[in-house]
Amino acid sequence: MLLQILVYCTIVLLARPLETVEQPLASWLVCLALGLLQWSVARTFKRGWVSDICWGATSLLMLWPGNWGAIVATSALGEIPFLREAMLLSPAIVSRLVLLAETDGLSAALVEMRMSLPLACGPVWLGSSAARWGGIAGPGSDGGVLTIVLIVVMLIAVYPELLRRCWGLSPIQLPELTKRLQSQHGRSMPPLLVWPESISICNAALLGCVPPFRYLVVSTPLLDALTPGELDAVIAHEMGHLRKQHVARRLAAIVIPAAIVLVGRYLLAVGIDLQGAARTLAEASAPLLLTAYYLWSTPRQSRRLELEADAWAATHLKRIYGDQGPELLTSALRKLSVAADIPLEQSRWLHPSFRERESALQEEGIAHPFPTPARLP
């Protein structure tokens, strides 16, 4: 859903909100591109016919220019910032809730929505605000550069704080763990936060890229499932993302292509007076190009960065724990796969499989084959 909303956010920024592309060709092309994107994300879930209907309706209602967007724009809610974007995204939110409820039950779906909604809708709200303040939202404006600058600032400073407050993150109350990690990583160690106990995920994440808007978040199930050495390995992996500037690289991979397409679209509109079908194709080219780019590049970049973080973490752990260090990382990765009920051979949209990660470490000469299966306590 995050990638879907990210592409939709780009469309909102590149298309002037007071103009709708009414030509059938543009509507069909945009629906096709985003429908394929939805399918590529949704196919990883076990779902029934109700979810399939919801996902299909989302593609048509939410992304068909002149349809759902036009209804929201002409309604009373269409004049209220943030609420307008929430209404535009509501079909996707409902379809996501139905998908999760059908798979895991309503209570688990509501908990997951608390996690995913700020993550997914935050870029849209911030991007819409940047478009309005930057001047690109008005017809005939040329405030693209200021808009891009505002988007970068919001994603670096505002977005992490938004997630921290919406998720209810709090400082971890484990002084020994904090002291141990600070001794390992020094001043580069971000503040350590923990998700509420009601969140059942077993994971850790790096949030933000620039202090003081940078945090390292862990979950209570993760603390319970791993040994101290394995926990150090998971934290080292997240620190690998930090040391390798992965958050900044991800941000650049999002903003730079959008800026290039935005500038190209503006120059094309100024330099050439297009009419009819030619204008329709030019208007549809921006979301199509960015959709195709994000669909192709995002999983490839993410998987490569995960392997880079693994390699950094294994090297770091080897300095602390000796030859046992890399094995702590593979043990922790195996436990996380088991806890998430992910087969060890199965890769995900943004993550390589456990087997791929283990093989990559072995090829680097950092780790040896995992000796025995690890079980959750």
- 283-293 pLDDT, tens digit each: 667 767 777 78
- 214 occurs within a structural domain: no
- Pick the more confident residue, 259 or 45: 259
State the DSSP string of 78-145: GGSTTHHHHHHHHHHHHHHHHHHHHHH-HHHHHHHHHHHHHHHHHHHHHHHHHHHHHTTTSTT---HH
- 244 occurs within a structural domain: no
Examine the pLDDT at 176 and tell me if it is beyond 80.
Answer: yes
Question: What's the mean pLDDT in 240-248?
Answer: 91
pLDDT at 61 (0 to 100): 65
C-alpha 175/C-alpha 169 separation (Å) is: 17
C-alpha 57/C-alpha 63 separation (Å) is: 10
- 224 occurs within a structural domain: no
Please tell me the pTM assigned to this model: 0.78
User: Is the four-CA dihedral 352, 353, 358, 360 of positive or negative sign?
Assistant: negative
How confident is residue 157, by pLDDT bands cut at 50, 70 and 90? confident
- Pick the more confident residue, 224 or 98: 224
How confident is residue 95, by pLDDT bands cut at 50, 70 and 90? confident
- 190-227 pLDDT, tens digit each: 999 999 887 888 889 998 888 889 999 999 999 999 99
Q: Evaluate whether 354 touches 344 at the Cβ level (below 8 Å).
A: yes
pLDDT at 372 (0 to 100): 45
pLDDT at 14 (0 to 100): 46
pLDDT at 45 (0 to 100): 54
How confident is residue 369, by pLDDT bands cut at 50, 70 and 90? low
C-alpha 336/C-alpha 358 separation (Å) is: 13
Question: What's the mean pLDDT in 12-25?
Answer: 45
Per the structure block, which two tokens stand in for 27?
Answer: 């509507």
Q: How many CA atoms lie within 13 A of 99 on its CB side?
A: 25
Q: Evaluate whether 332 touches 230 at the Cβ level (below 8 Å).
A: yes
Examine the pLDDT at 270 and tell me if it is beyond 60.
Answer: yes
> Is the bond into 212 cis (omega within 30 degrees of 0)?
yes
Lowest pLDDT segment from 27-36, 59-68, 112-121, 248-257: 27-36
- 354 occurs within a structural domain: no
- 184 occurs within a structural domain: no
How confident is residue 342, by pLDDT bands cut at 50, 70 and 90? confident
pLDDT at 140 (0 to 100): 47
- 5 occurs within a structural domain: yes
Question: What's the mean pLDDT in 126-148?
Answer: 61
Question: What's the mean pLDDT in 321-342?
Answer: 91
Question: What's the mean pLDDT in 91-113?
Answer: 78
- 286 occurs within a structural domain: no
pLDDT at 256 (0 to 100): 84
pLDDT at 15 (0 to 100): 47
What rounded mean pLDDT belongs to the chain?
77
Q: Evaluate whether 154 touches 128 at the Cβ level (below 8 Å).
A: no
- Pick the more confident residue, 138 or 191: 191
pLDDT at 13 (0 to 100): 47
Locus of tokens 């503040």: 191
Q: Evaluate whether 114 touches 93 at the Cβ level (below 8 Å).
A: no
- 56 occurs within a structural domain: yes
| Total of domains in the chain | 1
How confident is residue 277, by pLDDT bands cut at 50, 70 and 90? low
C-alpha 218/C-alpha 196 separation (Å) is: 10
- Pick the more confident residue, 137 or 183: 183
- 38-51 pLDDT, tens digit each: 555 555 555 667 76
How confident is residue 22, by pLDDT bands cut at 50, 70 and 90? very low
Structural domain span for residue 110: 1-166
pLDDT at 81 (0 to 100): 67
C-alpha 97/C-alpha 252 separation (Å) is: 31
- 110-127 pLDDT, tens digit each: 887 888 778 777 777 777
